[in-house]
Structure 1
């Protein structure tokens, strides 16, 4: 049985062409990408040890080995952070942890007050599972008619993978789906992620599990939306980490004047007030 760390290393190795690392093309290979022997040599470890890591038989490689593999794979800073995180949760799975469970849904009063200060801006409080825990009225206006907030406990990840309306609402649905799947690795805890993944996988299908196991670090560019009213919106995103709560405050900013005007029009349509969902 594999591990998050082993799966990432194997997927990354398969995605790399030897020529991109200055290695000679040795002809036909049984699998795409970089040979295991070449990666082991670049990382300064044995092929047998690399095989154990990739197959999940060694779940606790040293920090030095993880860093050597990151160097050998030429990972960028975001990928390096991800592989270090995966090594921690892989080691944690080896030592054992509590039963999978949902995360807390309450939002601190001071965070809710921050949302009120941000009115009439577009903002929400969420976690890495995609739970929409609180939001401004402008966020509700921008998502009105899309179905995102229809559930008693709205969840962006579940919406993206199970609601057909999401594929129209998000212009770049594939990118958003990759973002939401990737963020599950950064959930408040391993137990939370396992709980949510087990719940979502049967209804989201193979596309969800494939994206979850790709470990592609998303770029998180401009968020482009097709509002049901006909407005096309382009939003920049600023995410403020509320580390003490394992939550994030996400602020959405119009990327251009056309979007700013459209948001203003949506805000003046009938909609609700600030909501704390718990």
Structure 2
């Protein structure tokens, strides 16, 4: 049985062409990407050891080996961070990461107060499962008519993968889907695992499972929306990690004047106030 660490290394190796790393092309192969022997040589480890890591038979590579693999794969800082994280949950520390407290669904008063200070801007508090826990009137205006906030317990991950409207609303739906799938790796609790297995995976289907297991570290560029009102919105996202709560505060800023005007029109159409969901 494999591990998230082995899956990630194998997926990255398959995505790299030899010429990208200045290696000679040895002709046609049965599998795409970088040969296991080439990666092992670049990392300074044996092919046998790399095979054991990829297949999950060695779950505790040393820090030096993990860093060598990161160098050999030319990982960027975000990918290196994810590699270190997967090493923790795949290896000896796994037990400490499988049964922490479940994700909080209440928002601390000071965080709610911060949301209030951001009015009438666009901001939302979520946990790693995608539960929407609190938001400003600006966020409510931006999400009006999309169906996201209609549910009793809105969840962005569920919306992205199961609501057909999401594929039209998010201009770059593929990128957003990759982001939501990746973020689930950052909530490795027993409750998260049960939620993935029992609720999301069966209804989201193989496309979700494929994205979740690819370990693609998202770039999180400008968010582009096709709003049901007809407005095309482009937004820059800033994220404040609320580490002690396993939550995050996301703030959305108009990327251009046209978007700023569109948001202002939506606010006038849907006057509202800060809302917290427990």
Short-chain TM bin: over 0.9
TM-superposed deviation, 1:148: 0.6
Per-residue CA deviation, residues 120-178 of structure 1 (Å, 9 max, x unaligned), is 00000012221111000110011011011111111101100000010111111111001
Change (3 A) 1:101 1:149: farther
**C-alpha displacement of 1:100:** 8.8
Report the counterpart of residue 62 of structure 2 in structure 1.
62
Structure 2 unmatched runs, 5+:
none
The offset of 1:226, in angstroms, is: 1.1
Counterpart for residue 2 of structure 2:
2
Contact (CA 8 Å) 1:101, 1:195: kept in 2 or not? no
The 5 A counterparts of 1:116-131 are 116-131=116-131
The secondary structure found in structure 2 opposite 1:74 is coil
Aligned to 1:17: 17
> In the alignment, is the contact (CA less than 8 A) between 1:100 and 1:192 conserved in 2?
no
1:96 shift after superposition: 6.8
Distance 1:63 1:264 in 2: 50
What's the CA shift string for 1:71-91, capped at 9, x where partnerless?
111111111111111111112
State the 1:270 CA deviation.
3.0
Q: What residue number does 1:191 align with?
A: 190
How far apart in 2 are the matches of 1:68 and 1:54?
15
Matched residue, 1:112:
112
- Pairwise CA distance, 1:61: 1.0
Note closer, same or farther for the CA distance 1:69–1:98 as it changes in structure 2 (3 Å cut).
closer
Q: Give, in whole Å, the separation in 2 of the partners of 1:108 and 1:101.
A: 16
Aligned ranges for residues 64-103 of structure 1 at < 5 Å?
64-91=64-91, 94-95=94-95, 102-103=102-103
Tell me whether 1:157 sits opposite 2:182 in the alignment: no
Hey, what's the Cα distance between the residues in 2 that align with 1:264 and 1:192?
A: 39
Determine the structure 2 residue equivalent to 1:39: 39
Matched-pair contact (CA < 8 Å) for 1:59–1:94? no
Give the superposition deviation at 1:41: 1.1
Compute the TM-score of the two structures, normalised by the length of structure 1.
0.95
> RMSD of the alignment, in Å?
1.6
Structure 1's unaligned 5+ residue stretches are none
Give the aligned length: 277
Aligned to 2:227: 227
Structure 1 pair 98/21, CA: closer, same or farther in 2 (3 Å)? closer
Q: 1:245 to 1:92 in 2, by over 3 A?
A: farther
Q: TM-score, normalised by structure 2?
A: 0.95
Cα 1:69–1:164 shift into 2, 3 Å: same
**Equivalent pair of 1:102/1:195 in contact (CA under 8 Å):** no
* Distance in 2 between residues matched to 1:51 and 1:261, nearest whole Å: 55
**Matched residue, 1:141:** 141
Q: After TM superposition, list the pairs within 5 Å mapping 1:169-184 onto structure 2.
A: 169-184=169-184
